[in-house]
Amino acid sequence: MIAYVTVGANDLGKARRFYAAFLPTLGYDFKEGPEGLSYALPVPPGQSPVSPDFYVKPPFDGASASAGNGAMVAFEARNQAQVRDLHAAALAAGGVDEGQPGFRASYGPRFYVGYLRDPQGNKIALFSSNPNEPGRDG
């Protein structure tokens, strides 16, 4: 199980605005500290986390943050409408479009996804595979 994912950011204000546009809607709690931004899904008492925490921080080595070539973090939405809404909200909050929401021929018939870059250039996917919605072929 993946425990956490961290992406780098040089401007935490821009990162906060971008991630605040969609992570709270997906149920993530937010904390900010001197080390950066922390997002986590609530864990009921006595339960173990089921999804990784997500952190946005300046690099520990003090060098400039840079996006990883081939690296991407995907967040699951409830349905296709939420993918579209959150993709638009993230664009309005400083994101860059990397692929409008829709089906992709190279993925399964129910995989509905939109791609973005955060203000630092990290690639983010918002997707839904809701079995109660029409798929690519129907």
The string of pLDDT tens digits covering residues 65-113 is 999 889 999 999 999 999 999 999 999 999 999 999 999 989 999 999 9
| Mean pLDDT, rounded, of the chain | 95
Whether 49 has a pLDDT exceeding 90, the answer reads no
Q: Which residues contact 121 (CB under 8 A, 6 or more apart)?
A: 66, 67
Kindly list the distances between the CA atom of residue 101 and the CA atoms of 15, 77, 114, 115, in Å, as whole numbers in the listed order.
21, 12, 4, 7
Quickly count: other Cβ atoms within 10 Å of residue 5's Cβ. 15
Whether 1 has a pLDDT exceeding 80, the answer reads no
Residue 95 placed within a domain: yes
In degrees and rounded to multiples of 5, residue 28 shows phi and psi of -80, 135
Give me the mean pLDDT over the 50-54 stretch.
89
Helices (H), the chain: 12-20, 80-92
Kindly list the distances between the CA atom of residue 97 and the CA atoms of 87, 109, 135, in Å, as whole numbers in the listed order.
8, 22, 23
Domain count, the chain: 1
> Whole-structure pTM over 0.85, yes or no?
yes
How many C-alpha atoms does 34 have within 13 Å on its Cβ side?
Answer: 0
Residue 137 placed within a domain: no
Residue 88 placed within a domain: yes
Residue with tokens 């997906």: 26
Q: How would residue 54 be classed by pLDDT, with cut points 50, 70 and 90?
A: very high
Residue 57's identity, in one-letter code, is: K
In degrees and rounded to multiples of 5, residue 56 shows phi and psi of -125, 115
Residue 90 placed within a domain: yes
The domain of 97 spans 4-128
Residue 135 placed within a domain: no
What local confidence, expressed as pLDDT, does residue 138 receive? 67
Give me the mean pLDDT over the 15-32 stretch.
97
